Structure 1
Amino acid sequence: MIDFRYHLVSIVAVFLALAVGIVLGTTLLQEPAVKSAQELTGWFTKTNEELRTQIDTLQGREAGNDSFISTVTPDLVAAELTGQQVVLIETPGSSTAMREAAQQVLAQAGAEVTGRVTFGEKFVDPKGRGVLDGLVNRLKPANMIFPATATSWDRASALLAATLVTNDQAQSGTPNAATADVLSTFEAGGLLTTEGDPAKRATLAVVFAPEKPYEGEPAETLTGALVSVADGFDAGGKGAVVAGLAAAPAGDVITAIRDEGEISKRVSTVDTADMPVGRIGIVYALREQLSGRAGHYGMGAGASAPVPSVTSPTPSPTPESGS
């Protein structure tokens, strides 16, 4: 709502300038024309002032709401993720500030962040598909079989998920010996960087979507690569949540996931990760994933509610597969 009003104020300002130009530039400076232009200018000025007052009021209310939610967040998320390990996945174009704020709330929820993996642009670049395939074929365990329809990013994500997450609570916090060289090799190839100790496998993953949708001819491929990442980590662990901002459909990762029939049933999304309520939504969505359910939350297209309902978790009956 606030963004729309800003646009409206800009439009009013344009018309105001136009009205002034008409007054100054007209060659027919007749009294009725001058008076009419002055009245129009006065109306635009008054409307502009009223809209700015409304914007200030709305911004004040929003700031007050955010401040209150931030204050009560520790109580609202306390112990929601106790005993769970979470790995944080940053994608090209995602917000570091958004990730840091979410990480703080995850800690308040009792989760242990094993580490952070930041994908570089080289990972999603369609031109590097051959390199990606070569690394996966060289590093994957012999018993890792991919579907015939798997894309390069499907395969890479499955291998990385086997390295970074697990759906077996007893295995969490321990490295996967079968994929010991994966992270170091991907790092050496400039595909990703790490911080912390993500090789000590987590049970859950939070993937931070780019702030802006991809554009141009490769947008669909780039978006698809990140959808593969989210789906792979969901399948490899106890669940995954993609966090970001509500954005236009073209090139938007969250919208792409919500539009993917099968993936949308498994991977959760939160499109208000820049807001205090969205960070609570991430915690609740992860808790929901532990129960074997997925949902889509926030204020953008495809969101079913601002945050998931608070319910007692029920262990998934199929711990061998992702949520």
Structure 2
Amino acid sequence: MIDFRYHLVSTVAIFLALAVGIVLGTTLLQDPALDLAKKTSDEIYNANIGLRADLDTLRGREAGNDAFIAGLTPEVVAGDLTGQRVLLIEAPGSSGTVRENVQQVLDQAGAEVTGRVTLTEKFLDPKGKGVLDGLVNQLKPVNMIFPDTATSWDRAATLLAAALVTTDQAQGGTPNTATADVISTFEAGGLLSTEGEVDKRATLAVMFAPEKAYDGDGAEVQAGALVSVANAFDVGGKGTVLAGAAATTVLPGDPIALLRDESEISKRVSTVDTADMPVGRVAIVYSLREQLSGRAGQYGVGKGASAPVPVLTSATPTPTESGS
């Protein structure tokens, strides 16, 4: 007969076998997985260390290059903009530090910075187009005619450009008779603020794009408004450069990218997307000089840039060797 002790021993043996099987099976399955996971983790860790070392090296190289270019800047831009008056235009969200650094290099190039116009968010607000149109209709001279396709910002920018810049070198530094009314009315409307002698017209303009591309439903409209301003000041003066920092990705609210996509405007207005770097500040001076010769270009490291800096051409022909 099979007694109770036999049943007990058999049951214990079965459960013990199951337990041993589970432990062995789990161990056999886990060991390869754990080894693979550890190996992968080690590889990622080592790769991360390598990437950090590469990044530190690149940062060191960049710092060295920046220091070298910054040291040479006064020499390489000296006299390039002598006799030119430059107006600075700041978009909402632009960097004051970048603007100050660019202004220093403009001074080194011999330019006279007449002052600064800072546009407000209200100026770019799509809901405020009616206000812009009303002010333009109130202030524009009778002989100022706009194309049928002109936007509210095209019209406002054309009026501002007529008041603040000129294509005539002889008129640089002199006020337009309508300048005071235009500026005071736009300031009273909360559309912009000014600093310096902006009433004494400039011949060139540098416009600073926002540090980050605009976002939200009206982002592309806001960026387009800035493109309109840059275009109007280019037409109204002897040249304009739209400057900023290259975006990591192209977004609808990036005015530099938008301008570069506007084939007709990009033929006239220059852009520099390295304004936060020493080489970009040199590129801005060279771009303004290029504008004075009737040419334009897209410079920097971002999408749509054709070269880091403009290729300067000599103002006088290079003498040829005798007998050549």
TM-score normalised to structure 1 length? 0.86
The list of structure 1 runs, each at least 4 consecutive aligned residues, that deviate by more than 6 angstroms after superposition, is: 26-29
Q: Displacement, 1:38?
A: 2.2
Q: What is the aligned partner in structure 2 of residue 129 from structure 1? A: 129
Q: What code does the residue aligned with 2:231 have?
A: D
Q: Displacement, 1:223?
A: 1.1
> CA contact under 8 A between 1:141 and 1:179: conserved in structure 2?
no
Q: Displacement, 1:288?
A: 0.3
Give deviations 1:150-183, integer Å, cap 9, x for gaps.
1111110011001110010111001101333111
CA distance in 1, matches of 2:68, 2:179: 45
CA distance in 2, matches of 1:28, 1:228: 69
Q: Displacement, 1:225?
A: 0.6
Cα 1:111–1:28, aligned 2, differ >3 Å: closer, same or farther? farther
Unaligned runs of 5+ in 1: 1-25, 315-323
Q: What is the aligned partner in structure 1 of residue 39 from structure 2? A: 39
Cα 1:39–1:292, aligned 2, differ >3 Å: closer, same or farther? same
Q: What is the aligned partner in structure 2 of residue 11 from structure 1? A: none
1:112 aligns with 2:119: no
CA distance in 2, matches of 1:297, 1:154: 24
Where 1:30 maps in the other structure, the secondary structure is helix
Q: Displacement, 1:60?
A: 0.4
Q: What is the aligned partner in structure 2 of residue 154 from structure 1? A: 154
Q: What is the aligned partner in structure 1 of residue 19 from structure 2? A: none
1:298 aligns with 2:300: yes
- My pick for the range that moved more, 175-184 or 59-68, is 175-184
Q: What is the aligned partner in structure 1 of residue 187 from structure 2? A: 187
> CA contact under 8 A between 2:179 and 2:199: conserved in structure 1?
no
Q: Percent identity?
A: 70
Q: Residues 146-225 of structure 1 correspond to what in structure 2 (within 5 A)?
A: 146-225=146-225
CA distance in 1, matches of 2:38, 2:263: 57
Q: What code does the residue aligned with 1:239 have?
A: G
Q: What is the aligned partner in structure 1 of residue 12 from structure 2? A: none
Q: What is the aligned partner in structure 1 of residue 319 from structure 2? A: none
CA distance in 1, matches of 2:200, 2:36: 73
Q: Displacement, 1:144?
A: 1.4
Residue 271 (structure 1) aligned to one of 260, 270, 273: 273
Q: Displacement, 1:139?
A: 1.0
Q: What is the aligned partner in structure 2 of residue 20 from structure 1? A: none
TM-score normalised to structure 2 length? 0.86
CA distance in 1, matches of 2:313, 2:92: 34
CA distance in 1, matches of 2:46, 2:224: 48
Unaligned runs of 5+ in 2: 1-25, 317-324
Q: What is the aligned partner in structure 2 of residue 72 from structure 1? A: 72
CA distance in 1, matches of 2:131, 2:35: 71
How many corresponding residue pairs?
Answer: 289
Q: Displacement, 1:96?
A: 0.9
Q: Displacement, 1:224?
A: 1.1
- My pick for the range that moved more, 266-275 or 242-251, is 242-251
CA distance in 1, matches of 2:140, 2:243: 28
> CA contact under 8 A between 2:164 and 2:179: conserved in structure 1?
no
Where 2:308 maps in the other structure, the secondary structure is coil
Residue 281 (structure 1) aligned to one of 277, 280, 283: 283
- My pick for the range that moved more, 36-45 or 46-55, is 36-45
Q: What code does the residue aligned with 2:37 have?
A: A
> CA contact under 8 A between 2:275 and 2:281: conserved in structure 1?
yes
- My pick for the range that moved more, 38-47 or 90-99, is 38-47
- My pick for the range that moved more, 69-78 or 243-252, is 243-252
Q: Displacement, 1:28?
A: 8.2
Cα 1:313–1:223, aligned 2, differ >3 Å: closer, same or farther? farther
Where 2:113 maps in the other structure, the secondary structure is strand
CA distance in 2, matches of 1:159, 1:313: 33
Where 1:176 maps in the other structure, the secondary structure is coil
CA distance in 2, matches of 1:224, 1:108: 32
